[in-house]
Amino acid sequence: MPLDPLTGVIRWQDVIDILLNTYILFRLYVLFRGSQVMRVMAGLAFLYVFQRVATEVGLIVTSWAMQGIIAAAALIIVIVFRNEIRSVLQAQNLRAILWGVPGKTAATPVDILTESVKELASRRTGALIILPGREDLKDLMQGGVEWQGLLSREMLLSIFYNGNPVHDGAVVIEGRRVTRVGTILPLSQRQDLPQRFGTRHRAALGLAQNSDAMVIVVSEETGKIVLAKGQEIIDIHDIQVLGHHLRRHLGIVPEPGKGFKRETVKLSAAALICLVCMTGIWFSFTRGIETLTAMQVPVKFTNRAAGLEIFDTSASMVHLYLSGAGALVKNMGPDQVKVSVNLSRADPGKNTFNLSSSNVALPPGIRLNRIEPAVLSVTLDKLAAKNLPVQVNWAGRAPDDMRITQASVSPGTIRLVGASRQLEAIDTIYTERVDIGKLSASGKLTTRLLLKQPTLRVADGADDRIEVSYVMKKREAKKS
């Protein structure tokens, strides 16, 4: 149903507008869910709501401060979460970014992992195993050796074997592969850790609390298994529990049918929330308080016929009186409003155009109320050249007994360029006023041409100075 947002009706463009932005919001959720970006985004959304409430209530400083923080939010997000954004964009192809649901297909063989950890614990072989989440860990890890080995129980046991040069570092498991070994992790500075936790535990927590990775620690001294995730440290007494945590972290569900259904429900709920949010945002933009504004916009003349020049316009700028929702009017930039006049049917001479909404390009949701001036005249003409004689424009008052009897000018003719119609209308080009009151005897002087029509100019940029030679004589008295 074709409806206008300003008249209370929703158009098909508005439906597309809402759905498109809903999908963008939904994709951002899918790509960044589980990472700290989503938490910060939620925080910013809360700040926005808080700022609106503060504005409504009249908390001036609070509203101002919130507005500043939100304005800088885009920059803050890009700087603080550059690693997360990079990992999402680098790890996914375009199709995955636009359509896919990442992180659920490359399943790590949890059984192999749990069996290996169990074996390591029973042998009291110290181990540090990293299972990355969505965030990029490159800036947090140091050193190590690139591995890319297919995960197996034997491989893990051999990596952490005491005689192995890389056994002291951490291994990184991504999907089915051990991608890195012997990696050094940042140590946690927390003071509340139990005494039994050594360097290996601090390293595990140091990474976990600075990322969304999960880290498995096998104590060399006690053979106990500990999981570190975020700020949390979980003692593992049962290997089944370890498997459960790993599956949860890796997004692997034990019963595919049920898990898929649960995931679908979760994504559908997220999509619905995105739709509700975006509809709310759309309505807040388009159904805000009606605001009036006036803009002065330059007129653009288009499709001028070849050979014709614009020599005069009644106005080069017009005033537009616009209205629309406050948010739309406030966010409207000068480059979004354009006024153009199509000269394709204009003829040489004066052409008159009635300006209407068809001459004005406005952003969606903005309405044109009035244009001033509503009528625009444009004078078009062909460019022509003409040789014109020069005449001195004598002025002032000569001494009573004197008269100028002769004068010659150099150059005697000047070539002018301009609109052919204007050139046709003139036969002489005059100089500036030359005051004869200052002259007392024959002589020479220099003056300049006075071009009254702005469209005319001296051809080839020639000099407009004119040299005048004149003869003064005494006046003869009349016979009475």
Q: Using CB under 8 A as the criterion, which residues of the chain lie in contact with other proteins when the complex forms?
A: 389, 391-398, 403-408, 425-428, 430, 436, 475-476, 478-479
Q: At closest approach, how far in Å is the CB of 414 from other proteins?
A: 15
Shorter beta-carbon distance to other proteins: residue 40 or 404? 404
CA separation for the pair 22, 29 (Å, rounded):
11
Output 61 or 425, the one with its CB closest to other proteins: 425
d(CA 69, CA 51): 10
Q: Find out whether the peptide bond into 298 is cis, omega within 30 degrees of 0.
A: no
Compute the distance between CA of residue 91 and CA of residue 138 in angstroms, rounded to an integer.
13
* Identity of the residue, 118 or 403, whose beta carbon is nearer to other proteins in the bound complex: 403
> Cβ 5 to other proteins, closest distance in Å?
59
Tell me which DSSP letter residue 181 carries: E
Quote the least distance from Cβ 395 to other proteins, whole Å.
6
What minimum distance in Å lies between the beta carbon of 422 and other proteins? 11
Q: Report CA torsion sign: 131, 136, 139, 144.
A: positive
Buried b (16+ CB within 10 A) or exposed e, 310-328: bbebeeeebebebbbbebb
| Closer residue to other proteins, CB minimum distance, 335 or 476 | 476
- Specify the residue, 57 or 425, whose C-beta has the smaller distance to other proteins: 425
Can you tell me the distance from the alpha carbon of 309 to that of 166, in angstroms, rounded to the nearest whole number? 80
DSSP 461: G
SS3 state at 151: coil
Q: Which is nearer to other proteins, 193 or 426 (CB)?
A: 426
Closest CB 380 distance from other proteins, rounded Å: 23
Kindly state the smallest distance separating residue 413's Cβ from other proteins, in Å. 12
Element (H, E) at 424: helix 420-425
Q: Tell me which DSSP letter residue 139 carries.
A: T
Q: Are 16 and 3 in contact (CB under 8 A)?
A: no
Contact 290, 365 (CB under 8 A): no
Distance in Å, CB of 470 to other proteins, minimum: 8
Please say which residue, 258 or 475, places its beta carbon nearer to other proteins.
475
